[in-house]
Every structure is written in C-alpha cells, then in structure tokens.
C-alpha cells in the first residue's frame, strides 16, 4: 500500500528549483555591482511591475506594512483621522493607520467573498473619515466601485490593500488601478514573494506616487534636504532583482493556483459541511489562499495536520477584538459576519506546483473526516 503524500501548506522549494539558475545569475550580478540601495535593479523592477499591473508608476518599499503607512500618509491621513476598513484581515491593515495616529473604523464583511461589505463601509463614513481601505483578501478583488463613488462625493480617498492580490482583476482591470492607489506585499509566502521582505505602492495618481518616492527616503527629494518627515523604507536591489525574475513566471503560477482551486471545487462540491470559496464572476481570483468555511473547523484542522496536510487559520481574532485596539471601544458581536468567519475559516494548500494526486489526497481526507464525524454523531 502506497504512503499518502505529504502536502505542505506552501512549498517554496518547488517553486525555486526550476528558476534557480535565473535567480542565482541576477543575485550574483547585484553582488558584483555592489549597488544595494535603490540601484538599477530597483528601477528596472519598478518599471516591469508597473507594466504588469497596468499602472503608470510603481515605487518599491521595504515591506507591505510600510507601503500602507506611506500610501495613507501620502493621501494626507494624519492623527485623529478615520480610515474605514475591514476587521477580517492581517493586522497591518489597521495597525499601519494607527501608526499615523488614525483610527480604523471597521465595517462588516460579505461572507461569500470575505471582503468589505460596500454598504456597511459607506454607512461607517463619518465627518472624520479621510480614506477607505478595502482589502482584496485571499486574492479576490473587493467590490470597489460603490466605494469610489461614495468617496468621490465626499472628497475621500480609496486605497486598495492588495497585499495578497498581485495580478488579480476586477472587470478587466488589475488590482492597482481600481482606486486612488494600492499597496502590495512581497513577503515570501505571497504569490510573488521575495527572498525576505519587500513591498510596493502603485496606482494611477502620479503626484501621489512622487510623494511616496520622497517619503520612502525620509521625505526628501534631494539628499540632506527634507520637505517633510518620512521614513527609511527602500526595496533593496537584491530583492528587486529576484522579484523581477519571478514576475516573468507569475501569470503561469497563478493559473496553476486557479486550476487547483477548480479541482478542489469539483472534488468537494457535495460536502455539505464545507463552504468553498467561489471564483470571481466579475474578475480574476488569484488564490493567495484557498480558504473554506468548515463545520467543526478546529477538529478538521487537527485531523489534516495529523495526516501530514498543511493548513492555516487566517485570521482567528478579528481586529476589532485585538487587545491593542481596546481603547477604540469595539465590542464582541459588533461585526457578526467577520466573527463567524474567524471561527470557521481554514486555508488549504493551493500553490501551483501541487500535483493532482496531492489535491485529491487533501480533498479525500476532508471527505473522510466528515463521513467519520457523521458516523460518530449517529452512534453517539
């Protein structure tokens, strides 16, 4: 009897091996140039990724969190302003506005997409609101159009948190050109991941982009001359060179993820205890994660782990319930959809290098778990 395949949540080595020579070549070129900070490799990558996104410009920064801080600061967000966003997301979405002294005003999400509910977000706008920050969670674009319409009427800015969504599309437009600007992360586990930290700001507003370009070097367009207080947040040349190599393969990797997502949907379509993430009828979902809503989620997680199948919970504690935001006055039960998703969400392996056998093994293990749970309940 053959041993069931181990299935890690993510296998970066499987991605790296086919492009090893390309990565080693550009890495050596940067080492030999000794131009590590904002060298030619950074400018080359910025141009390449702007073309990929369909944006007029892109500015590389040190990480995705800094990208959010810089994006909001460049749009004028400051102390005592409010930023409307989702509580079901990575900490940085709210934490980075807080670094500027702004308060995150949360609105509930749509359970079908995991993204900000536009109606709830618009209802959360107050006279102190300065920006709306939708997150393209797990690689599916948020419904941005009503947010843009509401923002335009009120003189607000909309910034896409596209940390998990490079290459995703909505109605033919890629993330990065859907609003007044966007931020991206190149954390190694992202669809386009660096060999360390990295981030990016991109968008249609060239004046906003130029301000970010100054802010990432302490607010000065000229060395030792500072127009405002910025920060030290620069994408280094080694990361830029590696990312430009990977960018050439990104669309193919994304299609692998989309293929595996379709296979999961076929194999698990009749498992009533699981709600599967739907593909986006209005765009291109890139599946940074493949996140299901599962009955008996914690027991399923234990079972998958015991069977050698990687999995993860994103995000177990919604942001409005994080202790560090207690002084903002949110309470349990205030955003019931986000809280319900936090209690049921489980992400499965989805990377493009997964084999059909591995996907079938994951799906079969889930099916077997619920058949066993059903029998246990019947016998109990």
Element (H, E) at 70: helix 64-74
Backbone angles phi, psi at 128, to 5 degrees: -95, -5
| pLDDT for 134 | 98
Average pLDDT for residues 287-293, to the nearest whole number? 98
Average pLDDT for residues 172-179, to the nearest whole number? 96
| 309: DSSP letter | B
Residue with structure tokens 């080595």? 13
- In percent, the amount of the chain with pLDDT more than 70 equals 97
**From CA 58, how far away is CA 169, in angstroms rounded?**
17
Is it true that domain 12-107+114-247 has CATH number 3.40.50.2300? Answer: no
As annotated, the residues of the chain forming the CATH 3.90.1150.10 domain(s) are 250-379
pLDDT of 117 above 80: yes
Residue with structure tokens 């967000």? 77
Average pLDDT for residues 352-370, to the nearest whole number? 97
Q: 36: which residues sit within 8 A by CB, 6+ positions away? A: 30, 236, 237, 238
pLDDT of 164 above 90: yes
As annotated, the residues of the chain forming the CATH 3.40.640.10 domain(s) are 12-107+114-247
| pLDDT for 373 | 60
Q: Rounded to two decimals, what is the model's pTM? A: 0.95
Domain 250-379, CATH class in plain words: alpha beta
Average pLDDT for residues 51-73, to the nearest whole number? 97
pLDDT of 221 above 90: no
**From CA 254, how far away is CA 257, in angstroms rounded?**
5
Average pLDDT for residues 23-42, to the nearest whole number? 95
Position with higher pLDDT, 223 vs 290: 290
Q: 155: which residues sit within 8 A by CB, 6+ positions away? A: none
C-alpha distances out from residue 247 to 160, 194, 223, 226, 352, Å: 20, 10, 31, 34, 15
Element (H, E) at 67: helix 64-74
Q: Output the six-digit token pair for 139.
A: 């690689």
Is the Cβ–Cβ distance between 343 and 315 less than 8 Å? no
Is the Cβ–Cβ distance between 36 and 234 less than 8 Å? no
């Amino acid at each position: 009897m053959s041993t069931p395949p181990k299935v890690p949540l993510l296998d970066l080595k499987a991605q790296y091996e086919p492009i090893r020579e390309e990565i080693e070549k550009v890495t050596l070129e940067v080492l030999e140039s000794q131009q590590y900070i904002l060298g030619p490799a950074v400018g080359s990558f910025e141009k390449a990724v702007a073309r990929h996104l369909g944006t007029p410009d892109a500015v590389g920064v040190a990480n995705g969190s800094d990208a959010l801080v810089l994006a909001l600061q460049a749009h004028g967000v400051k102390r005592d302003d409010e930023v409307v966003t989702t509580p079901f997301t990575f900490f940085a979405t709210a934490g980075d506005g807080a670094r500027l002294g702004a308060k995150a005003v949360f609105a509930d999400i749509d359970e079908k997409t995991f993204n900000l509910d536009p109606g709830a977000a618009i209802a959360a706008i107050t006279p102190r609101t300065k920006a709306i920050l939708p997150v393209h969670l797990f690689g599916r674009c948020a419904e941005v159009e009503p947010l843009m319409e509401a923002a335009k009427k009120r003189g607000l800015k909309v910034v896409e948190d596209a940390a998990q969504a490079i290459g995703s599309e909505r109605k033919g437009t890629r993330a990065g050109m859907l609003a007044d600007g966007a931020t991206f992360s190149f954390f190694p586990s992202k669809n386009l991941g660096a060999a360390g930290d990295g981030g990016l700001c991109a968008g249609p507003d060239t004046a906003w982009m130029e301000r970010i370009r100054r802010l990432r070097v302490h607010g000065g367009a000229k060395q030792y001359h500072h127009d405002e207080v910025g920060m030290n947040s620069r994408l280094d040349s080694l990361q830029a060179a590696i990312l430009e190599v990977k960018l050439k393969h990104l669309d193919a990797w994304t299609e692998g993820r989309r293929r595996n997502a379709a296979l999961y949907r076929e194999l698990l379509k009749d498992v009533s205890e699981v709600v599967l993430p739907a593909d986006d009828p209005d765009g291109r979902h890139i599946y940074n994660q493949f996140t299901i809503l599962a009955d008996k989620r914690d027991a399923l997680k234990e079972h998958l782990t015991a069977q050698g199948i990687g999995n993860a919970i994103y995000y177990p504690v919604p942001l409005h319930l994080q202790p560090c935001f207690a002084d903002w006055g949110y309470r349990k039960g205030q955003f019931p959809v986000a809280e319900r998703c936090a209690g049921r969400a489980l992400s499965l392996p989805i990377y493009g290098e997964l084999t059909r056998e591995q996907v079938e093994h994951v799906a079969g293990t889930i099916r077997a778990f619920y058949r066993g749970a059903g029998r246990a309940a019947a016998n109990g």
